[in-house]
Structure 1
Amino acid sequence: MGQHAACIIRRRSMPILPPRRGRELEGGGSPFDSRPESGASKRYGLTLRTSHPTLRSLTRILGGAMPNPPLRIGIVGASVNRGWGWRSHIPAILGLPECELTAICTAHQETADEAAKATGAKHAFADYRQMVAHSDIEAVAIAVRVPWHREIALAAMAAGKHVYCEWPLGVNPGEVAEMTAAAKAAGVCAMPGMQGRVAPWVLYFRELIEQGYVGRLLTVNARLTMGHPYQRAGIAWAAQRAGGNHILTIQTAHMVDIVSFACGGLTTVSSVDSTMVPQWTLPSGETTAVDAPDQASIRGTLGNGATVSAHFAYVPHHGAGWRLEAYGDQGTLVATSPGPAMVMPNRIQGGTAGDKALQDRPIPESFSTVPATVPYDSSAYHVAHMYQRLAAAVREGTPLDPSFESAMELYRLVDTLERSSQQGGAVLPVSG
């Protein structure tokens, strides 16, 4: 792979972000800015800028402990207006006082410079190896195509950097196992992009199940249908199953992980996946053969004995979105959103035996810890919760969850789904 290949990502539409507020005042100005936080600072509309010399001097005089400095992050894959890194990671990092966007790496120096200027990042690189070696960088975020994840992550961890690597972590379980072992050997915090596990709606849904809102859980239904732009420029790279970037490894993996995490853990599964659109027509008029699956039907059993039925599909136009239903002997819970559950906010409704109909169950504010600078209805919202956990693990030593070990468990589940499909939908146990 050429030195720039790992930084190529697809074009998306997003306005250029302004520089992070207060960054131009670093070392001077006021020790406060107007970015709201949760808790007391949210109530008063102030955020302490821990790097400000006045605040540091005051803290020393009063004998108190300094708040943790922000985690200095370099991201690989964040060209202006292009892809998931720009749309989700950049706003998440810029919106958190716990994090600092220190560097950006893209395919070319001019695009890296453009992104750094737009965001206020201190450094711009066109070679990820130079970025991971830089002393200003503490953590590396990887938001490029799946085949390049392993190489970048291994280089970052070998350099002693903490890592946030997008999901799918690798193209196969072998790569994920290698990356997980490398993280353990390096003694760094390594987090996979499994943001469904930190989504406030998922945590609330899980709590309601655990507290017995539905009583004894009997059955769970889940489905996601997404309108898939088969004619989109640049989509050809996702046409092949071997690339590790298709509905089974991405949407199905995320959704099944949410179901398993929120509802009790899958113990057996049966799966059938298929490719219903075997040829894509590209904007150039050329066609490309497709063997990546675009549909997956799953049945399973949870550890509590409840049954699971799930269906995930790309459709040519106007997908109906996401719906999760949990039925128990005392009640019902339903979560819905117009898009993927790990990306979009969800509406939760519930009803018990005495209710005439399902009622909205607003998600308590306590489940969200990010400030208002990260929009609730953006794809950065759940990602920001992930960065908060990474920063806490690095600065405070809190257990990292999810971790690369969590990703290894999910890959075993995805591998079991693929093996089941290859065996005609055989019922297989989910290995731990």
Structure 2
Amino acid sequence: MIRVGVVGASGWADGSHLPALKGLPEYEVTAVATTNQASADRVAKAHGVPHAFADAAMLAAHPDVDLVVVSVRVTRHAAVIRAALEAGKHVVSEWPLAVGEQEARELTDAAEAAGVSHAVVLQGHHSPSVRFVADLVAEGRIGTLESAALIAAGDPFGGTSIPADLAWSLDAAAGNSILTIMAGHFLATLERVAGRFTEVSARLPRLHERVRVAGTERTEANGAPDQVLLHGLLESGATASATIHGGHARVADGFLLKLAGSTGTLTATPADGAAYIHWGDWEIRVDGELLAVPDSYRTVPASVPAGTPAHIAALYQDVAAAITEGRRPDPDFADGLRYHRLLAAIERSAATASPQQVP
């Protein structure tokens, strides 16, 4: 049994990580931490967790914690991760791993030196639909992959208004934008099925100088991009393109993924019509034929709620197996660093209007 402490338990983790962990027999949530003791106590009581803290370092140091989950604002990731590593604990960090490539490299080096298991929550890697499509491509179901194209909604980032709880994201230094959050998740998922980018050409249009905070008459200066446009080359020699457009809603209209091969074409859209590419099941067609994802790709027990907790639970299953088997989780901090380098290459290309190699 792996004993888990969740930092940031009253936010995103409350409806994703905690239900995922509760439904897995490999784990027991023994501690939670939030920014104040009252909210930590409330979350602990609601989930039947014995220990509650207002200090992440105290949670990490507690002897009843083997693994620390980092689910706080990106600007706080480094401090919490370092506290966990100093305490010799395994770490699972939400994406983005860090506020930029340099910090991601420092955290990766520190995690490697600590000799613990470390993983980053790019849950698209463990989606049954994603793994099924990756296998179809690898097995040659559409022949040799020649091009991959993705159109995806980046809502609620990039519109003329933004929810009040995300208004802080308008500061580019916050590390929480349509590029870092949405493009990071979407491109990691795209690479999982199509292969890695080796070169990118990109644009990061900023259409709105000021953005209204939803539910108020207040506007805030916008320092983040509103769209992500890119095309590039994959390791296989195939081409790839992605258009991630901003808007006002939460998951307004999902995505369209098209993989064109030498003998066939695969398309994927959200099964429920409005889900991010890394969240829900896909409707998958090869040359128009609808394909069902085999049950063998679904490893999460029924005790885990459907929706976002399911793919996060699949990641936690891999982390538990990695700890038991003495191998690296997928994806780990080194993979997270690689995706930070991809985003940095996109930013360099947009700034210089020239193609950039992806390290």
Question: TM-score, normalising length from structure 2?
Answer: 0.94
Shift of 1:231: 4.2
For 1:356-377, what per-residue CA distance to the aligned partner results, in whole angstroms no more than 9, with x for missing partners? Answer: xx1211111111211011133x
Q: Provide the residue aligned with 1:346 in structure 2.
A: 282
Matching of residues 20-419 of structure 1 within 5 Å = 70-79=1-10, 83-228=11-156, 230-282=161-213, 283-317=215-249, 319-337=252-270, 338-351=274-287, 358-376=288-306, 378-419=307-348
AA matched with 1:255:
F
1:8 corresponds to? none
Which structure carries more strand by proportion? Answer: 2
Gaps (5+ residues) in structure 1? 1-69, 352-357
Distance 1:244 1:227 in 2: 16
Unaligned ranges ≥5, structure 2: none
Q: CA deviation at 1:284?
A: 3.8
Q: Is the 8 A contact 2:154 2:182 kept in 1?
A: no
Q: Deviations over 1:104-138 (max 9, x none)?
A: 10111111111111111111111111111100000
Amino acid at match of 2:36: H
Partner of 1:32: none
Q: Is this contact kept in 2: 1:226–1:339, CA < 8 A?
A: no
Output one character per residue of 1:85-115: Cα deviation in whole Å (capped at 9) or x when no partner. 1111011000111111111101111111111
1:285 counterpart letter in structure 2: E
Using CA pairs below 8 Å that are at least 6 residues apart, which structure has the higher relative contact order? 2
SS of corresponding position for 2:147: strand
Q: Is the 8 A contact 1:267 1:301 kept in 2?
A: yes
Deviations 1:252-292 (A, max 9, x none): 11111222221122111101011222212223422110011
Per-residue displacement from partner, 1:52-74 (whole Å, max 9, x unpaired)?
A: xxxxxxxxxxxxxxxxxx21000
In the alignment, is the contact (CA less than 8 A) between 2:171 and 2:224 conserved in 1? yes
**Distance of 2:289 and 2:268 partners within structure 1:** 12
Task: Give the residue type in structure 2 aligned to 1:89.
Answer: H
Q: Secondary structure at the match of 1:156?
A: helix
Alpha-carbon separation, structure 1, partners of 2:14 and 2:22? 11
| Conserved? CA contact 2:145–2:261, under 8 Å | yes
Separation in structure 2 between the aligned mates of residue 316 and residue 231 of structure 1, nearest angstrom: 7
Distance 2:169 2:321 in 1: 35
Greater CA radius of gyration, 1 or 2? 1
Q: CA deviation at 1:384?
A: 0.4
Shift of 1:395: 2.6
* 8 A contact 1:209–1:262 mirrored in 2: yes
Q: TM-score, normalized by length of structure 1?
A: 0.79
- Distance (whole Å) between structure 2 residues aligned to residue 96 and residue 203 of structure 1: 21
Q: Matched residues in 2 for 1:231 and 1:216: separation?
A: 42
CA shift, 1:295, in A, is: 0.3
Offset at residue 200 of structure 1 (A) = 1.2
Aligned to 1:330, what secondary structure does the other structure show?
A: coil
